[in-house]
Structure 1
Amino acid sequence: MTEQENIQARRSEPWRDELRRGMKAKERGERPRVHMPELDAEYRSHSLKEEVNLGLTKEQAMFEAARCLDCANPTCMEGCPVNIQIPSFVKNIECGEFLEAAKVLKETSALPAVCGRVCPQEKQCEAKCIYIQKMKKEPVAIGYLERFAADYERESGQMSLPELAPANGIKIAAVGSGPAGLAFAGDMAKLGYDVTVFEALHEIGGVLKYGIPEFRLPNEIVDVEINVLRKMGVKFVNNCIVGKTISREDLLNDGFKGIFAASGAGLPNFMNIPGENLIGVMSCNEFLTRVNLMDASNPESDTPVQMGKKVAVIGAGNTAMDAVRTAKRLGAEKAYIVYRRSEEEMPARIEEVKHAKEEGIIFHTLHNPLRYEGDENGRVQRMLLQKMELGEPDASGRRKPVAIEGATEWFDVDQVIVSVGVSPNPLIPSTFKGLEVTKWGTIVVNQETMQSALPEVYAGGDIVRGGATVILAMGDGRKAAAAMDKALRN
């Protein structure tokens, strides 16, 4: 049996009974939401490369698509930052027109297979579904269906290209090949521009490659989406640091008429507490980049990660979940999430928290590190934790953590991965003279057009937001492309 046949078998066998129950429920007038097949938790917690979610079968996808109520006013679209025609692609799936569904997605999204996997649909399009808004039931699984359509097209070998305008010969540069840069490049290519994407690292894909492990987003999926952009005429230059290897002036002298800065937020934040310079304390960015891009899980690689047995990840966002689950897969006997608030306030997706728990991750909530101490060799050995309680909500709407006076405890660890946020990459803001920059290092732009203080420079994604989701970054890229096109035409 081939690997693809194995995957199909895993998808189908455990879910046939559920599908039968679903069909009977539909006959009774009920419409239960399908559940995504997953790898067994014990098995997958030792597999760094195999994807946890296995995708829907054709039958599951068509059944789920049939739950869509064909709203006269499809509020789901209000929650989509890239304006996908959700009812259209969902109805195509219901009718079995899977390739047509994929074409609808590509009209507005450069990365449908990526978005179907990592976007927080539960906070965006699905949160606006009439089922949840009016009927207090589970929404249509829009994210599952998006992934299904994109995967079906890829596996069919019939990849389509969106319609392209005639080439206009105008050169445009995108700095950074993450989701904002790729979305921008895709839209500009559709409009007929000659687009080149410059990437500082040796792999194209930005945070999609270095920041998200393959058990959640396989590199193969990202590469397929990038190759579609190549076929649309987008050029990619890797190992090129704009602001260092080449300057803004170099780009303008080379004939580029517009520049989209999407260099991300790759500067890790630390807590500035004693002991952060000990061996075994590292940023989440460093840990994931080394594992995902530099083969650090291989002890024979040039930059191996020496994995501890008791690993604590500080923070509770999606990146923290990626890191702690990666640590578990690399051999950590005990892998902890240490978080200063309760589980209810965690910013990570509910699905990621669920998967982490199933894989044996231990959650140590309402605790915050005060200091780290090391052994005689300078390696972290333990940390002092402050016990916390929740006070009134802060500006984010989450209840603010408050220290319980005198309540501390020592906690044994031999590796700490700090995931408490990131700051913008400072290179573009510091070398593009004339940019307006905030006190946080983000580029100031017109929120309607994404244009900066330099007329030819637009910006989006984390370099503007300071840290956001893939789909919000893509929305910035699309908005910038539309505005830049309008400006150049005028």
Structure 2
Amino acid sequence: TGVRIGEAMTMDDLLAEYDAVFLGTGAGVEATMNVPGEDLKHVYRSTDFLVRANLPLEALPPERRDRPYVGRRVAIIGGGDTAVDCARSSIRLGAEDVRIVYRRSEAEMPGNPVERGICVEEGVQIDYLAAPVEFIGDEEGKVVAMKVVRMALGEPDKSGRRRPVPIEGSEYTVPVDAVVLAIGYWPDPSLGEKTKNLATHKWGLIQVDPETGATSLPGVFAGGDNTHGPDLVITAIAAAHRAARSMDAYLRNGNKT
């Protein structure tokens, strides 16, 4: 435990000790927006925000034993269940004006519609077809507003959902006291970057044979969120079962696929 592949040891080190390796590293790196002002004070990542908002303070590390500052106006960026959780937590922390900002329409929103309905009943506003392009700070480095652009839906992307396209000249500014980024998770890209000949897709997803879980490296298999992005636990379990059968066949066949 506590070992990072590519730093403390390499994939070659593992393969020198084991005949087969399974990579089940998940998708634990929070996505970023890469817009100006993302590093301002009171712009939070969803995991840190939810942990500090909901866990007993005594359960947190000493340096994190405080609740997130939300002020009166909070914007949650994203459209999944995590965004809804962040919005409802903001209300419980005392925020009065809480809005979810989502770049597509309600029809494309990936979160649970029942949870979303409860969220709205609690007073959360949802701004559809909108996306932040800049977070604006004051002289103390605290976020005080965000610049937003309206979006229109274009042709479907690879996910099958219509691609959001910015509408030129539609920018407007929304005052905020805090922002929470709840825009998804991706695998740690450093695994692919530091492992020679391990083929990866965009965002660090590991390329695998969908039937066997085999990667581009002989003897190395992978499955779960690190191959297709965040999904259900049962999906990861199924991928692990497939890979386990393939690894068994690989070993029984004299380390041949």
Matched, 1:276 2:35: no
Task: Report if the CA contact (8 A) 1:269-1:420 is conserved.
Answer: yes
Residue 321 of structure 1: which of 80, 84, 92 is its match? 84
Structure 2 vs 1, CA of residues 484 and 349 (structure 1 numbering), >3 Å: closer, same or farther? Answer: same
| Displacement after TM superposition at 1:311 (Å) | 1.6
Residue 465 of structure 1: which of 225, 228, 240 is its match? 228
Question: In structure 2, what is the equivalent of residue 307 of structure 1?
Answer: 69
Q: What does the per-residue CA deviation read over 1:223-278, in whole Å, with 9 as the maximum and x for residues that have no partner?
A: xxxxxxxxxxxxxx4x443443444344445x433221111222222222221121
CA distance in 2, matches of 1:297, 1:403: 44
Decide which moves more: 316-325 or 451-460: 316-325
Residue 352 of structure 1: which of 89, 93, 115 is its match? 115
Q: How many residues align?
A: 251
Identity level (%): 41
| Displacement after TM superposition at 1:382 (Å) | 0.8
Structure 2 vs 1, CA of residues 445 and 398 (structure 1 numbering), >3 Å: closer, same or farther? Answer: closer
SS at match of 2:69: coil
Residue 339 of structure 1: which of 84, 102, 106 is its match? 102
Matched, 1:263 2:29: no
Structure 2 vs 1, CA of residues 391 and 453 (structure 1 numbering), >3 Å: closer, same or farther? Answer: closer
Task: Report if the CA contact (8 A) 2:27-2:230 is conserved.
Answer: yes
Q: What does the per-residue CA deviation read over 1:366-416, in whole Å, with 9 as the maximum and x for residues that have no partner?
A: 221121111221100011222233345444333333434433322111111
SS at match of 1:373: strand
Which of 1 and 2 has greater Rg?
A: 1
Task: Report if the CA contact (8 A) 2:77-2:100 is conserved.
Answer: yes
Question: In structure 2, what is the equivalent of residue 422 of structure 1?
Answer: 185
Unmatched runs of 5 consecutive residues or more in structure 1: 1-236
SS at match of 1:428: helix
TM-score, normalization: structure 2? Answer: 0.83
Task: Report if the CA contact (8 A) 1:297-1:305 is conserved.
Answer: no
Structure 2 vs 1, CA of residues 292 and 445 (structure 1 numbering), >3 Å: closer, same or farther? Answer: farther
Q: What does the per-residue CA deviation read over 1:137-176, in whole Å, with 9 as the maximum and x for residues that have no partner?
A: xxxxxxxxxxxxxxxxxxxxxxxxxxxxxxxxxxxxxxxx
RCO greater where, 1 or 2, for CA within 8 Å and sep 6 or more? Answer: 2
| Larger relative helix fraction | 1
Structure 2 vs 1, CA of residues 449 and 395 (structure 1 numbering), >3 Å: closer, same or farther? Answer: closer
SS at match of 2:144: strand
Q: What does the per-residue CA deviation read over 1:41-82, in whole Å, with 9 as the maximum and x for residues that have no partner?
A: xxxxxxxxxxxxxxxxxxxxxxxxxxxxxxxxxxxxxxxxxx
Question: In structure 1, what is the equivalent of residue 176 of structure 2?
Answer: 413
Question: In structure 2, what is the equivalent of residue 396 of structure 1?
Answer: 159
Question: In structure 2, what is the equivalent of residue 139 of structure 1?
Answer: none
